[in-house]
């Protein structure tokens, strides 16, 4: 028995060290660090740790110990939440949906601005705790009442759990604005990545709702608004840049949409796209809509690939508005509230923002665009992490605060 204990004592450190060595090797083998990224050594270290946790999670999942998403969120949420003396923070439930309310303590002579925040993470990562400090900062610096929504995620919940939870919680909040001292004419929807897609979907769904206050503005950071064309220039230029690789994006789509992973290549190449459907959406989704300065040097990839009807039948729900709100009709899009759009250059989803910007501007919707040349996907959440923060992280949060304060 003592011998077995000794073996286990020696084997566990060897196991964790072996996984660490493999992830470092994998990072250098598969990862590209653009020259625009500031502090590349720090960037590499963070990605190695990110990859290390995901690898351990995948191993534990295969062993039946714990799913990778739950393992990652468990570690991420071990960071102690700091209390902000300027805010009252309350955990609530709107029905079954957990939400967190951030309210300034100071008295106000008028009703405050309201912010509804939808966090990122691809329906895999992210939580109320991991975005807590960001929401504290936004509520405090803009003197706003902020509601963050803790929607359901993988592995226990698939589409359309995210969009349903975000919509239902948002409607509940909008009906109770007077309870929280919020000005109904100054409600802002704010989201990052997949949370930005939730903003767009909810803003569209609320168009024409006379029983609810109108949304004043959309704040969209590193927007993910469609799962149809993954062969845009940014996908080709930054497909292996942390913290969002092309492989991870397609895998996340398959898991969240309950699509068999064998259709991954069909989604990536557009082989699931019926020719008549592409003719309908090409005017919005073609790489031709991307400004020249963002185009790659080489010839654009062939998109879509030859049509595969079996792939379409397995993936056709990708065209639903809950998952690709970019595909809404012009009449709905033209009625959307103004937008503050943040895009990061070194992000494979950069072109979602550029396509959304062009489409709204073509329809006469006001768009304020803030592009961060040294930015990368996921940089927002690092803004207050001291040594692990980046200049782009601080620039983004300050730009968002400045915009919201102007409303």
Strands, E assignment, 154-201: 182-192
Q: Residues 27, 47, 132, 377: which is the catalytic one?
A: 377
pLDDT of 333 > 60? The answer is yes
Same domain, 130 and 210: yes
Q: Residues 347, 351, 352, 374: which is the catalytic one?
A: 347
Diameter over CA atoms, the chain: 75
pLDDT given at position 72? 93
pLDDT tens digit sequence for 154-196: 999 999 999 999 999 999 999 999 999 999 999 999 999 999 9
Same domain, 352 and 323: yes
Pair 230, 202: CB distance under 8 Å: no
Count how many domains the chain has: 2
Q: Which of 21, 56, 76 is the last residue of a domain?
A: 76
Strands, E assignment, 66-208: 87-94, 97-104, 112-118, 144-149, 182-192
Same domain, 332 and 289: yes
The tokens for 108 are 């106000």
In a domain, 20, yes or no: yes
Boundaries of domain holding 153: 86-407
The tokens for 250 are 């397609």
Same domain, 200 and 313: yes
In a domain, 38, yes or no: yes
Does 156 qualify as catalytic in the annotation? no
CB atoms within 10 A of CB 86: 14
Same domain, 10 and 65: yes
Q: Which of 47, 76, 105 is the last residue of a domain?
A: 76
Pair 388, 382: CB distance under 8 Å: yes
**CATH code where residue 278 lies:** 3.40.50.1820
In a domain, 347, yes or no: yes
Interatomic CA distance for residues 351 and 234, integer angstroms: 6
Q: In the structure, what pLDDT confidence band is assigned to residue 394 with cuts at 50, 70 and 90?
A: very high
What's phi and psi for 376, nearest 5 deg?
-145, 160
Same domain, 96 and 129: yes
Same domain, 46 and 137: no
In a domain, 81, yes or no: no
Q: Which of 76, 99, 120 is the last residue of a domain?
A: 76
Same domain, 72 and 165: no
Same domain, 43 and 99: no
Same domain, 122 and 269: yes
pLDDT tens digit sequence for 310-321: 999 999 999 999
DSSP per-residue codes, 11-50: HHHHHHHHHHHHHHHHHHHH----TT-SSHHHHHHHHHHH
Does 39 qualify as catalytic in the annotation? no
pLDDT given at position 350? 98
Same domain, 385 and 272: yes
Q: List the 182-192 sheet strands across, edge first.
A: 87-94, 97-104, 144-149, 112-118, 182-192, 217-221, 338-346, 367-376
Does 133 qualify as catalytic in the annotation? no
The tokens for 160 are 């359309």
Tell me the whole-structure pTM to 2 decimals: 0.95
Q: Residues 170, 193, 234, 235: which is the catalytic one?
A: 193
Interatomic CA distance for residues 152 and 158, integer angstroms: 8
pLDDT of 4 > 70? The answer is no
Helix (H, G, I), strand (E, B) or coil at 339: strand
Same domain, 68 and 101: no
């Amino acid at each position: 028995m003592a011998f077995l204990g000794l073996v286990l004592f020696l084997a566990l450190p060897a196991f964790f060290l072996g996984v660490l060595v493999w992830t470092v090797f994998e990072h250098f083998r598969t990862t590209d660090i653009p020259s625009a990224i500031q502090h590349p050594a720090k960037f590499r270290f963070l990605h190695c740790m990110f990859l290390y946790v995901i690898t351990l999670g995948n191993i534990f999942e295969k062993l039946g110990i714990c799913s990778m998403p739950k393992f990652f969120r468990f570690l991420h949420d071990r960071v102690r939440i700091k209390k902000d003396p300027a805010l009252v923070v309350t955990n609530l439930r709107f029905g079954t949906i957990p939400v967190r309310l951030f309210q300034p303590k100071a008295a106000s002579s008028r009703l405050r601005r309201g912010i509804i925040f939808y966090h990122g993470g691809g329906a895999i990562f992210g939580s109320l705790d991991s975005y807590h400090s960001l929401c504290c900062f936004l509520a405090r610096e803009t003197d706003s009442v902020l509601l963050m929504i803790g929607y359901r995620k993988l592995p226990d919940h698939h589409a359309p759990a995210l969009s349903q939870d975000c919509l239902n919680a948002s409607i509940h909040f909008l009906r109770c604005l007077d309870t929280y001292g919020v000005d109904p004419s100054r409600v802002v929807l704010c989201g990052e990545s997949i949370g930005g897609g939730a903003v767009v979907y909810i803003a569209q769904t609320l168009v024409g709702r006379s029983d609810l206050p109108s949304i004043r503005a959309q704040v969209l950071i590193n927007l993910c608004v469609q799962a149809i064309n993954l062969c845009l220039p940014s996908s080709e230029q930054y497909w292996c840049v942390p913290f969002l690789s092309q492989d991870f994006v397609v895998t996340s789509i398959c898991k969240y949409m309950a699509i068999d992973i064998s259709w991954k290549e069909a989604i990536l190449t557009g082989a699931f796209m019926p020719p008549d459907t592409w003719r309908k959406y090409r005017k919005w989704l073609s790489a031709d809509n991307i400004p020249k300065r963002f185009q790659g040097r080489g010839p654009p990839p062939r998109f879509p690939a030859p049509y595969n009807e079996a792939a379409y039948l397995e993936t056709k729900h990708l065209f639903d508005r809950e998952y690709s709100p970019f595909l809404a009709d012009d009449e709905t899009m033209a009625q959307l509230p103004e937008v503050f759009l943040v895009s990061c250059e070194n992000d494979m989803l950069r072109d979602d923002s550029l396509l959304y910007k062009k489409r709204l501007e073509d329809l006469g919707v006001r768009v304020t665009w803030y592009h961060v040349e040294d930015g990368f996907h996921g940089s927002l959440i690092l803004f207050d992490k001291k040594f692990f923060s980046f200049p782009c992280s601080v620039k983004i949060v300050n730009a968002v605060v400045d915009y919201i304060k102007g409303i």
